[in-house]
Chain A
C-alpha cells in the first residue's frame, strides 16, 4: 500500500513537471539575440575574460531552463581586444547585420564612449561594463552602465581618510583612461573633504618598478597617505616598493584592486591596503537577509565551480548587465522599446555591484552605498573597520 502510494505520487510529480516545462502556448517564443563586445584578449583581458565567461555561463543556464519566459537567448561575443576601432565596427555589425536585441559591454570606458552614439542612433540598448561616469552623464536614451561611479569611490576613500584625520596625501595613477578619470575626480572632490593633494604622479601602465618615485615621495615628510588609481599590476608593485623602502603610511587603492590575484601578487606587502569595492569580494561575511547576499553566493559558487578561478568584480558587471536585461524582458516581453523603458523603471534590483534603482535621469542606478570599504588581512579581503 505504502509502495503504491509513493509510486503514484512519483508519477503525478513527473507529469506535473512535464506540464510545467511545456512552453506557454500563448506566448510567441522567439530567439533573442544578445550581442557582447568585450576585451577578451589584449591589455584589458582581465576585464573582458571574466565578463565573457560570465555571460557564457548565464546564457547556458537560462537556455537550459527554457530561456527567458520561453524565449531562447543567442549570445554573440565579439572580442575587441580593447581597441575602440574594433568596437566601432563590431557595434555596427551587431546592430545592422545581426539586428541584436541589445549589446552588453564594451569592457573599457574608451570603447564605450566611441560607440555610445552608434547605439543611440541604432536604437539598441547598450549595457556597458565600463566605469567612467561620462558614459551615463549626460544621459543617452539607450545607454546604461552597471559598474559603480568613480566619484563615489573617491568619496568613500576620502570619507575613510577624514575619519582617520588624514589631510595631506599623494596621488599616483596609471596612464589609462581609468587612471586619468580617477586622478581628475580625486583632485576635484578633495576640497569637499578638506584634503590637500601635495604630490601627484602618473606612471606608465606597463611600469615594473616604482622604487624611484617612492623614494621621491617618501622624502616629502608632509604626506600622510598615498592613493593609487589604476587597474594594472603596478598596484602590487607600488605596495612592495613602499614597504621595502620602510615607508609605513597607509596605502589606499581604487576599486580596481578588487581582484584577489593582485593580493596574491603583492604578498605580504598587500597587507593593510584599504580600498572601496562592491560586496562580491566576501559575500559570506554579509549579514543574513542582506538583499545581495543570496545572489552573490550563488554567482560565486557557479562561476568558481565552472571555471576554477576566483570571481572578480569585473565579471560581476557583466552578470548585472545580463540580469537587468533578462528582468526587463521577462517584465515586458521581447520588445526592445518596451524593454528600454522597463530598465529605466527598474527599482530595488539587487545585483553584484549593489542594489540598482534606475530612473530616466540615472542610467547607472547605483549610489555610494554600493561600495563598502575593504582591507587585506592574511591574504584575504575583509571589511575595513576604523
Chain B
C-alpha cells in the first residue's frame, strides 16, 4: 500500500468516524439522564440537514445552519414534553419503543414535507470538485470542516459537563437521580435539556456533513445503527469512549475496503456490535462493575 493510499483511507475513515462519534454522543447524553437509548437520534441529524437546506435560499448559510440547529432543538424538547415527560415511572422497554415510534413518525413527516428526493447544502468553501492537498493526498475542504466542527463540538461538550453548573446538574442526574432530586435539581427539566442538547449536536453534524453525504428523509436510520454500535463499543454513557470508538470504527471501515469487498462494509460494523455485546458488554473503555449496576 502506498503512503498516499494509506493517507486517503485515514482521511476517509476519520470523516465517517467523527460523524459516528457525534451520533453516539447524542445517544449517550440522553442515556445518561434517562437510561434509555433514543432511537430517533439519527432523525435529528436528518432534520438538521433538511431544515438548513430549506432555509438556505432565504438567508446566508451560517444563519440558516444556526436556525436549523435551534429549530431541531425545539423539536427535541417538544418530543420529550409531549411523549416522555408525563409518563409516570415508565419501563425502559416502553420508552425505547416510544423512541422507535417517534423515529418512524419523523421520517414519515419528512417524506411528506420534503419528498423522496436527495438534497444537499452547498459546499461551505469551493464546490463539488475542489480539493486541498495534504501530504500528497487530495481531500475535499468539507472533510476538514466536518472534522473541525465535530472536534470543537466534542471539546465544548466536555467543558460544558465539567465546568458549568447546568452541565454538573445533568451529570448529577446521570449519577443518581434520586440524590439529585434531593439536592433540589429538577430532574425532569434536565431530561428535556438532554433531548435538546442531543438534538442540537445531531442537527449541527447533519448540516456540516450534508454537502458530502447528501440529506434524504430516510438517511437517519443507517446513522443511528452506526452511532449505536459506536456508543456500545465506547461503553454506554461514556462520551470520550464514543469518540475513540467512532474513530476506530471509521478507520476499520475505510481500511476494510482494501481487504474485503465494499459490500461487506456495513457487515463489519454489525459484526463488531455483536462481538462487543457478547464479549465485552461494558464497552471497550467501560468497567464491568459500573455496567453491572445499570438497568439496561
Q: Which residues of A contact B (CB under 8 A)?
A: 41, 43, 45-46, 49, 175, 201-204, 206-213, 215-216, 219, 233, 236-237, 239-240, 243-246, 261-262, 265-270
Of the candidates A210, A240, A245, which one forms a contact with B138 in the assembled complex, judged by CB atoms under 8 Å apart? A245
Known A-B contacts A202-B263, A244-B140, A245-B131; A209 and B12 likewise in contact (beta carbons under 8 Å): yes
Give the CA-CA distance A213 to B9 in the complex, in Å: 9
Q: What residues of A have a CB within 8 angstroms of the CB of B219 in the complex? A: 206, 208
By the criterion CB–CB under 8 Å, are A204 and B263 in contact? yes
By the criterion CB–CB under 8 Å, are B9 and A215 in contact? yes
Of the candidates B2, B139, B262, which one forms a contact with A201 in the assembled complex, judged by CB atoms under 8 Å apart? B262
By the criterion CB–CB under 8 Å, are A244 and B266 in contact? no
By the criterion CB–CB under 8 Å, are B12 and A202 in contact? no
By the criterion CB–CB under 8 Å, are A43 and B218 in contact? yes
- Nearest CB on B from A39, distance (A): 10
Give the CA-CA distance A175 to B266 in the complex, in Å: 12
Q: What residues of A have a CB within 8 angstroms of the CB of B213 in the complex? A: 208-209, 237
Give the CA-CA distance A339 to B291 in the complex, in Å: 70
By the criterion CB–CB under 8 Å, are A204 and B265 in contact? yes
The answer, yes or no, to whether B38 is at the interface (CB within 8 Å) is: no
By the criterion CB–CB under 8 Å, are B118 and A265 in contact? yes
Of the candidates B115, B129, B262, which one forms a contact with A244 in the assembled complex, judged by CB atoms under 8 Å apart? B129
Q: What residues of A have a CB within 8 angstroms of the CB of B212 in the complex? A: 208-209, 240
Tier of interface size on chain B: 35 or more
- Nearest CB on A from B217, distance (A): 9
Q: What residues of A have a CB within 8 angstroms of the CB of B12 in the complex? A: 209, 211-212, 215
Nearest-CB residue, chain A, relative to B214: A233
Q: What residues of A have a CB within 8 angstroms of the CB of B255 in the complex? A: 212
Q: What residues of B have a CB within 8 angstroms of the CB of A49 in the complex? A: 115-116
Of the candidates A239, A261, A266, which one forms a contact with B117 in the assembled complex, judged by CB atoms under 8 Å apart? A261
By the criterion CB–CB under 8 Å, are B129 and A202 in contact? no
Per-residue A-contact encoding for B1-40, CB less than 8 Å = 1, 0 else: 0100100110111011000000000000000000000000
22 A–B contacts from the bound complex (CB under 8 Å): A46-B117, A49-B116, A175-B263, A202-B261, A203-B265, A208-B213, A208-B219, A210-B262, A211-B11, A211-B15, A215-B8, A215-B12, A216-B5, A233-B118, A239-B128, A240-B129, A245-B131, A246-B138, A261-B117, A265-B120, A267-B127, A268-B128
Nearest-CB residue, chain A, relative to B126: A268
Q: What residues of A have a CB within 8 angstroms of the CB of B254 in the complex? A: 212
Per-residue A-contact encoding for B130-149, CB less than 8 Å = 1, 0 else: 11000001111000000000
By the criterion CB–CB under 8 Å, are B119 and A216 in contact? no
Give the CA-CA distance A248 to B261 in the complex, in Å: 23
Q: What residues of A have a CB within 8 angstroms of the CB of B129 in the complex? A: 240, 243-244, 268-269
Nearest-CB residue, chain A, relative to B133: A246
Give the CA-CA distance A220 to B227 in the complex, in Å: 33
The answer, yes or no, to whether B80 is at the interface (CB within 8 Å) is: no
Output the residue of B122, B212, B218 with the most chain A CB within 10 A.
B212
Output the residue of A207, A213, A215, A236 with the most chain B CB within 10 A.
A215
Q: What residues of B have a CB within 8 angstroms of the CB of A201 in the complex? A: 261-263
- Nearest CB on A from B52, distance (A): 16
Give the CA-CA distance A262 to B118 in the complex, in Å: 8
By the criterion CB–CB under 8 Å, are B131 and A246 in contact? yes
Nearest-CB residue, chain B, relative to A239: B128
Give the CA-CA distance A267 to B258 in the complex, in Å: 29
Give the CA-CA distance A141 to B138 in the complex, in Å: 56
Q: Which residues of B contact A (CB under 8 A)?
A: 2, 5, 8-9, 11-13, 15-16, 111, 115-120, 122, 127-131, 137-140, 212-214, 216, 218-219, 222, 253-255, 257-258, 261-263, 265-266
By the criterion CB–CB under 8 Å, are B116 and A46 in contact? yes
Nearest-CB residue, chain B, relative to A175: B263
Give the CA-CA distance A203 to B263 in the complex, in Å: 5
- Nearest CB on A from B257, distance (A): 4
- Nearest CB on B from A263, distance (A): 11
By the criterion CB–CB under 8 Å, are B16 and A209 in contact? yes
Known A-B contacts A202-B261, A203-B262, A209-B16; A266 and B131 likewise in contact (beta carbons under 8 Å): no
- Nearest CB on B from A211, distance (A): 4
Give the CA-CA distance A8 to B130 in the complex, in Å: 71
Q: What residues of A have a CB within 8 angstroms of the CB of B263 in the complex? A: 175, 201-204
- Nearest CB on B from A172, distance (A): 8
By the criterion CB–CB under 8 Å, are B15 and A267 in contact? no
Nearest-CB residue, chain A, relative to B120: A265
By the criterion CB–CB under 8 Å, are A237 and B214 in contact? yes
Closest 7 CB pairs of A and B: A208-B213, A215-B8, A45-B116, A269-B128, A267-B128, A212-B12, A243-B129
- Nearest CB on A from B8, distance (A): 4
Give the CA-CA distance A139 to B21 in the complex, in Å: 52
Nearest-CB residue, chain B, relative to A39: B116
- Nearest CB on A from B127, distance (A): 5
Nearest-CB residue, chain A, relative to B263: A202
Output the residue of A201, A233, A236 with the most chain B CB within 10 A.
A233
Known A-B contacts A46-B116, A49-B116, A204-B266; A212 and B253 likewise in contact (beta carbons under 8 Å): yes
